[in-house]
């Protein structure tokens, strides 16, 4: 166990209330792409002269649903990757009795799949699909698509969408309030697999008043943040070296 890992282990062992704030980089080792790296989803779109903020917005979905769902079809499919070492460690840590709260920007549900229960999904999830007109919920396998590949509600022909936050939409107020409360009460904040470029999520860490801040990421953060420990490595690789 190298020195940074030893220090992270010490911080975790000594902490009374941990908050893990994670982004897309937490799930890349499960086979899911991130967004803003050189090979990320947004970067790839921008390289093809596609504006992700336009194409992945609620406005575009409503104005051109046939184009939106053509591009989004694969992303709308329920994800089937398996939790990696990071998800598994955090779930095991909670099961051991440690106070660990997870705030994630991911919509893949892998923290729940691993067994964690204290999870705030800031950007929603791909487990719930609902009609935007009547609110009826559907399992993905039962969703009907019209001739333009648009998911439709058979009750009123409304658009059926995943319960995820699109560009142009606000985060759910209850998730923001809860996240602020959790971070404010923590004595150890672990920020992992995120570049902290997205508002208002990135501003949540300003609520932290605790002792230690740890950053685990493959690249430096794009914002000024004083961390007690920075580990430049994959998140799963890092957590696979820890013990409960």
What pLDDT, in 10s, does the model give residues 110-153? 999 999 999 999 999 988 999 999 999 999 899 999 999 999 99
Instruction: Reply yes or no on whether 126 is catalytic.
Output: no
Is 39 part of any domain? no
Is 224 part of any domain? yes
Range with lowest mean pLDDT among 27-36, 67-76, 83-92, 163-172: 67-76
- Domain CATH for 201: 3.40.50.1220
Encoded tokens for 106: 């991911």
Encoded tokens for 160: 């059926």
Query: Domains in the chain: how many in total?
Result: 1
Q: What is the full DSSP assignment across 174-217?
A: HHHHHHHHHHHH-SEEEEES----STTGGGGGGG--SSEEEEE-
Q: Exactly one of 87, 111, 123, 126 is catalytic; name it.
A: 123
Q: What are the helix and strand counts (H, E) for the chain?
A: 9, 11
Alpha helices in 34-151 (DSSP H): 41-47, 52-55, 58-63, 65-76, 85-95, 110-114
Is 102 part of any domain? yes
- Total-model pTM: 0.91
Which domain does 198 fall in, by range?
1-32+83-123+165-244
């Amino acid at each position: 166990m190298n020195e940074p890992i030893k220090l992270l282990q010490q911080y975790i062992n000594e902490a009374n209330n941990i908050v893990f704030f994670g982004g897309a980089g937490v799930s890349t080792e499960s086979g899911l792409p991130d967004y803003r790296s050189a090979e990320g989803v947004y970067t790839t779109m921008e390289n093809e002269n596609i504006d992700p903020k336009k194409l992945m917005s609620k406005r575009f979905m409503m104005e051109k649903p046939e184009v939106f769902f053509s591009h989004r079809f694969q992303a709308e499919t329920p994800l089937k990757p398996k939790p990696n070492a990071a998800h598994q460690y955090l779930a095991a840590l909670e099961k051991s009795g440690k106070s660990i709260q997870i705030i994630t920007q991911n919509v893949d549900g892998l923290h729940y799949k691993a067994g964690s229960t204290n999870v705030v999904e800031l950007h929603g999830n791909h487990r719930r699909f609902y009609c935007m007109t009547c609110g009826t919920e559907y399992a993905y396998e039962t969703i009907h698509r019209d001739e333009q590949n648009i998911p439709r509600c058979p009750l009123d022909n409304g658009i059926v969408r995943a319960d995820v936050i699109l560009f142009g939409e606000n985060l759910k107020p209850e998730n923001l309030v809860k996240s602020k409360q959790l971070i404010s009460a923590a004595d150890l904040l672990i920020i992992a697999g995120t570049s902290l470029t997205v508002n208002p999520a990135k501003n949540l860490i300003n609520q932290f008043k605790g002792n230690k801040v740890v950053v685990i990421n493959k690249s430096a953060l794009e914002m000024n943040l004083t961390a007690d420990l920075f580990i430049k490595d994959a998140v799963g690789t890092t957590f696979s070296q820890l013990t409960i």
